[in-house]
Structure 1
Amino acid sequence: MALQASAGRRFRAFTSKHLDELTARAGFGEDERLAIRAVATVLPFRVNSYVIDELIDWDAAPDDPIYRLTFPQADMLPAEDVARIVDLLRADAPRQEINRVASEVRARLNPHPAGQLQLNLPKMGEEPMPGVQHKYHETVLFFPKQGQTCHSYCTYCFRWAQFIGEPDLKMASDEIDRLVAYLRQHPEVTSVLLTGGDPMIMGEAVLRRYVEPLLELETLESIRIGTKSLAYWPQRFVTDPDADDTLRLFEKVVASGKNLAFMAHFSHPRELEPAMVQEAVRRIRGTGAVIRTQAPLIRTINDDPEIWATMWRTQVRQGMVPYYMFVERDTGPQDYFAVPLAEAYEIFRNAYNSVSGLARTVRGPSMSATPGKVCVDGVTEINGEKVFVLHFIQARDPELVNRPFFAKYDEKAVWLFDLKPALGATRFPYEAEPAGDASEPVTGAHP
């Protein structure tokens, strides 16, 4: 198997200071490049040499899907906001002034959807635990401090607020001992997800400091690692200096009797094509880890059923397990990337219909909203009313899981909170009881 030319290269990242030079390769004029730089003052930009050299088709840019996946576009933000920042850049305004305006724009982009900073924050005694989310009854998320960046950033990323240098918006912790103590007090937790950023940005020695203490917990059944490293830097598992040590760590997790779930983000079939990726997949699977795949449905990048069917078939062929098609979250440039729920369902259904049962492990389209993961099961008519059929795959209230509920059909709705109850109902199952009810609600309102 011939690996691509970049196999032996050291990792090199490019940031907004390189943006003007890089976007010139896409054929943009000076004014267009300035507008792109303006967007990059608000939303984070980072790409690496592998993505630039191996994944982007520069002859097709800026329409190339991998280019759009990794590079900001001038129309991702409201035109008046972009024009305001362009004027500041053109006037060579002080960096402090540019940052102030950029912060104002960010504040309107719902930096933390699903109440990430407020909800699910556990405590040890009276002390809250930043960087930890007890999101579901059996699942805890942990954000390692050293894993709060990625090999490249996705333009649609719902965790973009992690990368903009504002400490008040960042979720991170290096207190693994405190997490272990919390898990000992909560034996109902059977799964820990290491997330970020991207935990695989960490070297093996740092990753091991977070993983090994979890192996002592008998109640823990699985450790998950959420990562896009297979797509953006597969060298991490093949040619990087600590690639072999990392795989030995994976083997240790599996040998401990726990499931190691490698939650790989693939957004487009091209990310699966390089020989380096296929070799990385082979090596990871060789440790006993299970690779599960997921990605959001993103307008202009993968909003085509054939793209998803091709991804799922390729993943199954390589021994991976298709897991989730997500709906773009209500944050950042959602208006630019979102696909209406009715269209999302048709894309999922048409892709799902064209693959074998082995690929039908995938769930979707799923919204990771405040009350939980809500799946759009279909569109039907009941008593003359056209409705969405929905159910919770996961929920903050476990009693809601796998119970169908209905919403009025709305061809423009792109998110759970755009929907209204159907069939005469006045509220959804996850919403607060009317005033005067003594029960403690799980609210569905925007945080």
Structure 2
Amino acid sequence: METTANSLDCRAHVLKFIEETRVVSENELQVNNVTPYHVTKSYREQIIKSGYYDQLKYIVEPSVQEFESPGTLDTSGEHDNTVVPGLQHKYAQTGLLLVTERCGSYCRYCFRKRIVGKASDEIAPDFGRVAQYIACHPEMTNVLLSGGDPFVLSTSNLNRIVDHLLPIKHLKSIRFGTKMLAYAPKRFDDSALPALFQRIHKAGKSPIIVAHFDHVGEISSGAERKVRALRAQGVQFLNQSVLLAKVNDDPEILAATFAKCHEIGVRPYYLFQARPVKGASHFQVPLRRGLEIVRGINQRLSGIEKTFKYIMSHYTGKIEILDLGQDGRVYMRYHQNKVTEKIGKIFSRPHVPTACWLDDLPEQ
């Protein structure tokens, strides 16, 4: 990226997009929530040698479509569910703790564009205050460390955060949501990491890494070695993927991704419908196509590999997308909801061919 100054002393950037090179002003980037380009050397090398570069480049390389993608910056009501700075409590059993605004690389489809790569007051400033809240809420049995990516923090910083969580007896698991296994697997070479996970174990809690492999081409041999080594030390692994137009909207690719995850001991957990995020909604796939892809994935996997749910993380809750019925209605159920009585209940809405999100379906 090159930067120039115009006569009004406004910075202008010469940016290389996937489609073309453009000169854009700083204001234009900010107004359109275009995240800076940032990618690790190891990830760039991996996607080039994977044979899938033409798909995987869309994950990290900017596109001019980002200027034309409508949407909002908080699609799941994170502001409304923040109970103390940095801690969200949307579902009874789970706390979501934002520990950093930084990531190893910047995903172009990120649903936290409002935070990532910027100074943000949504990141927890006081973990003692967070722990106080959790200690007063015995229904909360697990905490997910997220951000940003917790593994961009040093292991000593992670230990300091965990120090506040380990004494809370009703916490049964501590999860770490990360894409660093794809972006920088060498981060997990740190000799101090096993002791962190052992501390969690000794406190009577399960350490869980929620990996983020969107495509089989992201699963490097280095990532596989790190997963196997940490599993041998008692760390559990889950995987969440996002269904992304031009990247993995293909049942063959996603079936291969989930089969590879299963092979190395990472349980496929969620396949997320991409969210209508400003600057990223061009990644959305219509719900009908998404259901066709999910059906194709399941046709290619063995029974023990079919552990994922097709999920829409909506403002009202986590919605499992089930099927498009012969009656022309999309059938769904709440996998999680703030209202306990709604969890597990099936509901439906009339299908609209262009619909990519619950709000695109009429309430009838």
- 5+ long unaligned stretches in structure 2: 4-12
Pick aligned residue for 2:351 from 409, 423, 437: 409
Q: Helix, strand or coil: the match of 1:154?
A: coil
Pick aligned residue for 1:175 from 95, 104, 126: 126
Note closer, same or farther for the CA distance 1:325–1:60 as it changes in structure 2 (3 Å cut).
closer
Query: Are 2:65 and 2:279, in contact at CA under 8 Å, matched by a contact in 1?
Result: no
C-alpha RMSD of matched pairs (Å): 2.4
Q: How does 1:243-322 map to 2 (within 5 A)?
A: 243-272=190-219, 274-322=220-268
> Counterpart in 1 of 2:306?
360
Note if 1:69 corresponds to 2:31: no
Note closer, same or farther for the CA distance 1:36–1:398 as it changes in structure 2 (3 Å cut).
farther
Q: How does 1:4-403 map to 2 (within 5 A)?
A: 23=16, 32-34=20-22, 42-44=33-35, 45-56=37-48, 64-78=54-68, 109-117=71-79, 119-122=80-83, 129-144=84-99, 147-165=100-118, 167=120, 170-238=121-189, 243-272=190-219, 274-364=220-310, 366-381=311-326, 385-403=327-345
Q: CA deviation at 1:330?
A: 1.7
Q: CA deviation at 1:356?
A: 1.1
Identity of aligned residues (%): 30
Query: Are 1:150 and 1:201, in contact at CA under 8 Å, matched by a contact in 2?
Result: yes
Query: Are 1:226 and 1:262, in contact at CA under 8 Å, matched by a contact in 2?
Result: yes
Q: CA deviation at 1:254?
A: 2.0
Q: CA deviation at 1:114?
A: 1.9
User: For the pair shown, which has the larger CA radius of gyration, 1 or 2?
Assistant: 1
Q: CA deviation at 1:22?
A: 9.3
Query: Are 1:391 and 1:401, in contact at CA under 8 Å, matched by a contact in 2?
Result: yes
- 5+ long unaligned stretches in structure 1: 1-14, 80-107, 123-128, 423-447
Q: CA deviation at 1:69?
A: 0.8
Q: Helix, strand or coil: the match of 1:291?
A: strand
Query: Are 2:252 and 2:297, in contact at CA under 8 Å, matched by a contact in 1?
Result: yes
Write out per-residue CA displacement over residues 99-133 of structure 1, whole angstroms, 9 at most, x where no aligned residue.
xxxxxxxxx7411222222x1122xxxxxx11110
- Provide the C-alpha distance between the structure 2 equivalents of 1:166 and 1:216, rounded to a whole number of angstroms: 30
Bigger strand share = 2
Q: Helix, strand or coil: the match of 1:402?
A: coil
Give the TM-score normalised by structure 1: 0.74
Give the TM-score normalised by structure 2: 0.90
Query: What amino acid sits opposite 1:158 in the alignment?
Result: F
Structure with the bigger RCO (C-alpha within 8 Å, sep 6+) is: 2
Runs of 4+ in 1 over 4 A off after TM superposition: 20-24, 35-41, 57-61
